[in-house]
Chains A and B, each alone.
Chain A
Amino acid sequence: MTRRSRGHLAELENEAIWIIREVGAWFERPVILFSGGKDSIVLTWLARKAFHPAPIPFSLLHIDTGHNFPETIEFRDRFVRDLGLDLMVRFVQTSIDEGRVREEEGTNGSRNALQTVTLLDGLEELNADAALGGARRDEEKARAKERVFSHRNRFGQWDPRNQRPELWMLFNGRRQPGEHFRVFPLSNWTELDIWQYIQHQEIPVPALYLAHDREVVRRGGTLLARTEATGPWRPDDDVSVRRVRFRTVGDATCTGAFESDADTIEAIIRETGTARVTERGGRTDDRRSEAAMEDRKRAGYF
């Protein structure tokens, strides 16, 4: 099977492989943060390519908010099994039960910010010195300034004023004991690149990304799907069945669906090429304040 990419996809693929291999060389116990979403799928796909014919020398970690779409979890387990990888799952619920974090109150309660504690605990448990994430710089303004090798202090925090300059393809992964790095090999990819690559490589993705009929409710300008996590509909909910798809498949309480007929990757690419709303725009938690993302990142979020 030969699937050689050309043009910008090839360049992005080669760049990501270089970065992933640098992680393998600089760090002893890297972890891939694997959510089952398209970015972490592409990241894992690239990691497999980077070390072929050897297996990926990293473990996979999923921080489970408990607010999942069952489809994502099912897909996640199958994808990991098919690639012959080991996945470790740590639950936000555990952190709540242990009193490490307190659940947000109110109707907009989201577990997105709570993940931070579970994530840092998980990394500590694995003694991880690097955590690879599928975040891209085009997702959000604050991300646009984050490094590929992003240094985190002993408390897992990011300091945007004191980032190490990154030049050419030279990454500096030196660290003190207890410190770790977040590494973002897909930094230079856009949402469209991800979809084009998925299409080109025929990478499987959760069916949630494709248009399907589903019962949804409109809350605060966002269409939410009904799952265990969102709980039963409230009397004043505006419920209807619509043809929708998701642009992210994370926390079901705050990941918005949107109306679409795109039921193939091809159609998604066409739609993404003319998209009017950013992916994260479908997430209610980023919009709470203009600087929401940056605040979470400073605290050690993904």
Chain B
Amino acid sequence: MTTPLAPASEDTGPVPTSQVELLRFTTAGSVDDGKSTLIGRLLHDTRSIFEDQLEQVEGVSRRRGTGELDLALLTDGLRDEREQRITIDVAYRYFATPKRRFIIADTPGHLQYTRNMVTGASTAQLAVILIDASRGILTQSRRHAFISTLLGISHLVVAVNKMDLVGYRREVFHSIQAEFRNFAQGLEGVRTLSFVPISALKGDHVVERSRRMDWHEGPTLLELLEIAEAGTRRDRGAFRFPVQSVIRPNANFRGYAGTVVSGSIAAGDQIVVLPSGETTAIHSIETADGPLESAEAGLAVVLTTHHELDISRGDLISHAQDPPPVGSRLAGDLCWMDREPLEPGRTYLLLHATRQIQVRVDRIVHRVEIDSLGHEEADTLGLNEIGRVELSTAAPFAFDLYRTNPATGSFVLVDLRTNQTAGAGMIRRRLDTVRRVSPGAVWQEAAVPQAARESRNGHLAAVLWLTGISGAGKSSIARDLERLLFRRGIQTALLDGDRLRHGLSGDLGFSDSDRAENLRRSGEVARILFDHGAIVLAAFISPRRADRERVRGLIPPERFFEVHVHAPLEVARARDPKGLYRREREGAVGSLPGSRGLWEPPTAPELLIDTTRATPAEAARSIVVRLEEAGILPPDSAQHPRREPS
């Protein structure tokens, strides 16, 4: 650089605010709780309002004839709102004290604007919940508190406003405080909950202490904001680095630009690149201001690696010993933000860190009834609705749970037709089985995709998981079913517990953990066969619900059929085709599931077959019908002539 044209710095005394911490917080309240007035008051009393702005507001206040200076006018941004006198969108405000820099995400509190509250809360570390002392706690305040905690804000400050209207009486404040405390017990993840009585209009306890409420000994609102914990504790988490782009100025330099979103990294550290699973070590950490030995959370840097790997935008880099899970099925809380309601089954675009993947909502587990915080059944989510959903992505990707890492645990959904940002989500759970990846193993896409096999086969792939106690009839049904399907030219594969234990699982016994491992292997084999286009018939006692759910997690939901093959224990004992029950009585084998051992029957199987009422052949035929109905198999006109419409 040349010499600056302006003298850069002369030591002429301290600057007004040196480098201080930044705190981002949200405000919300019901209409007319005084939110705009409060923000105006904060800006005014911290001298963050300029003379010309103040003059403008004074001018308008005078013209409107409202008498008092209308501080709300300082913050109501857009013309629409000025006309309706309401705030309609998220607005960001800035003010500073010698201790801190503040960013307020100012969101309106009307029913239809949940989306704005969610948006504002997504980047905030603290929420100021406004309550009108003369009206008490309204739905809106509860909603704001709920959304704040849903978005992971752990510091809540309840500002009880308009204390001037209730004669500054401490009983009013205390009863609201007690009621809110009670309500807040139902909220998750609240680390600090503080209360302050204020009058935004008169300025009591906002910035200045109030003599009219000297009974309140706690901090003023501003003091609470100044002492709140500002760090997001990102430093202590596991190292995560979403790759934004590849920096390649010439053939000698190849680096990966991005921001350390959590944890820290040092030159020499062993890393793994996900989802590929390739590993290498960090060679250097570059910035425009020179290389660094290490970089902590928050820093934007460029990483170079020892080996040249195929790393590109969308990949996530972590420490080799501490990688996030990789999966393609997850459950999350989704806030819908588009006028067009969520369509389960339709393809959306998922934006996660720096990655984009096609995604589908498989199921809405429940919708949150925000006012009561209860759950209700739903087939869709409309604008401003929040619900728990299950999603499948087109390819596996690496993510964390929102609770442990908001940066890698959050996502938005984009409507591919309109490009609108349609939903915002927080990952709560991974539905895929815990699939461990061997160090260094690289995932290869199939040479022939499943869909190609399916179209040649003329039917879709599926997994039928037959579960039931020994002697219930699983194997007989599976064998009949396979013969039936084979005759129709269907690609099938049969996995049977006893057969697998000759060979693949020959090293395993019947302890809980061995059973679990046996089912894990069986599930993975079923998945491979499924990927190859087959209809997989798997017959396993599989007594544990958790083991079955794990297998379910490997297969897309509309392709997985849990078939509960049921017979009462006495019947099964009487059948005893393999003599197991007899040997159990004799003590030659351990406890059998459903007899002396644990048996957890399915709670919601896709199919229930009672083998005291149907022969194996009948059962097999009913399964075929079910597969036709589900669109897995084409209708078989020969066997099932179309019924005339009645």
- Give the B-binding residues of A (Cβ under 8 A): 1-14, 17-18, 21-22, 24-25, 48-55, 75, 78, 82, 137-138, 141-142, 144-145, 160-161, 163-170, 172, 174-176, 187-188, 190, 192-193, 196, 199, 202-207, 209-210, 263-267, 269-270, 272-278, 281, 287, 290-291, 294
Contacts and interface: CB of A to CB of B under 8 A. Distances in A.
Contacts of B245: 21, 24-25
B78 A142 contact: yes
Contact of B22 (A1, A11, A138, A144): A11
A202 to B, nearest CB: 4
B5 A206 contact: yes
Contact of B287 (A52, A137, A196, A210): A52
A9 B18 CA distance: 9
A168 B122 contact: yes
Contacts of A161: 80, 88
Given A11-B22, A145-B89, A281-B50, A82 B300 contact: no
A7 B22 contact: yes
A144 B107 CA distance: 12
20 contacts: A14-B259, A17-B300, A21-B244, A21-B257, A49-B288, A53-B253, A144-B75, A145-B90, A170-B410, A172-B419, A188-B103, A190-B94, A199-B9, A202-B9, A204-B6, A264-B6, A265-B7, A267-B12, A273-B15, A290-B56
B528 interface: no
B91 interface: yes
Contacts of A166: 119, 421
With most chain A CB atoms within 10 A of its CB, the pick from B5, B20, B101, B115 is: B5
Given A145-B91, A165-B424, A170-B412, A82 B2 contact: yes
Interface in B1-45: 1-13, 15-22
A18 B259 contact: yes
B94 A188 contact: yes
Nearest to B291: A2
A272 B313 CA distance: 40
B96 interface: yes
Contacts of B51: 276-277, 281
B210 interface: no
A185 to B, nearest CB: 12
Nearest to A9: B19
Contact of B20 (A2, A7, A175, A264): A7
B419 A18 contact: no
A52 B259 CA distance: 14
Interface in B342-366: 349, 351-354
B82 interface: yes
Contacts of A12: 22
B79 interface: yes
Interface string B248-291: 11000101011100000000000000000000000000111110
A213 B595 CA distance: 99
A75 B47 CA distance: 34
Given A82-B2, A207-B6, A54 B249 contact: yes
Contacts of A3: 289
Contact of B12 (A188, A190, A264): A264
B599 to A, nearest CB: 45
A170 B351 contact: yes
A145 B113 CA distance: 15
Contacts of A144: 75, 77, 91-93
Contacts of B299: 10, 14
B60 interface: yes
B457 interface: no
Given A161-B88, A165-B115, A204-B4, 13 more contacts: A8-B101, A13-B300, A14-B300, A53-B253, A141-B75, A141-B78, A160-B78, A163-B89, A164-B420, A170-B353, A205-B6, A266-B11, A290-B60
Nearest to B14: A270
A22 B19 contact: no
B411 interface: yes
A281 B49 CA distance: 12
Nearest to A203: B4
Contact of B52 (A11, A188, A192, A277): A277
Contacts of B349: 174
A170 B411 contact: yes
Interface in B68-113: 74-80, 82, 88-94, 96, 101, 103
Contacts of B75: 141, 144
Interface residues of B, number: 88
Contacts of B119: 165-167
B262 to A, nearest CB: 12
Contacts, number: 237
A2 B78 CA distance: 42
B253 to A, nearest CB: 6
Contacts of A266: 9-13, 15
B337 to A, nearest CB: 5
A192 B8 contact: no
A273 B17 contact: yes
Nearest to A195: B15
Contacts of A263: 7
Given A141-B75, A190-B94, A167 B22 contact: no
A138 B77 CA distance: 12
A50 B412 contact: no
Contact of A168 (B11, B74, B290, B407): B407
A2 to B, nearest CB: 5
A8 B20 contact: yes
A45 B185 CA distance: 48
Contact of A137 (B13, B94, B300): B94
A8 B287 contact: no
A57 B237 CA distance: 33
B190 to A, nearest CB: 21
A275 B56 CA distance: 17
Contacts of A203: 4
A22 B6 contact: no
A51 B247 contact: yes
Contacts of A291: 79, 82
Nearest to B95: A190
Nearest to B7: A264
Contacts of A192: 16-17, 96
A199 B15 CA distance: 10
A49 B247 CA distance: 12
A145 B76 CA distance: 10
Contacts of B177: none
Contacts of B60: 290
B53 interface: yes
A294 B287 contact: no
Contact of B5 (A6, A142, A207): A207
A270 B16 contact: yes
Name which of B245, B249, B410 has the most chain A CB atoms within 10 A of its CB.
Answer: B245
A187 B92 contact: yes
A75 to B, nearest CB: 6
Nearest to A276: B51
Nearest to B121: A167
A9 B21 CA distance: 9
Interface string B285-311: 011111000000011101000000000
Nearest to B50: A278
B424 A167 contact: yes
A194 B77 CA distance: 23
B131 interface: no
B414 A18 contact: no
Nearest to A286: B52
Nearest to A82: B2
A196 B15 contact: yes
Contacts of A196: 15, 17-19
B543 interface: no
B116 interface: yes
B327 interface: no
A202 B489 CA distance: 76
Contacts of B80: 160-161
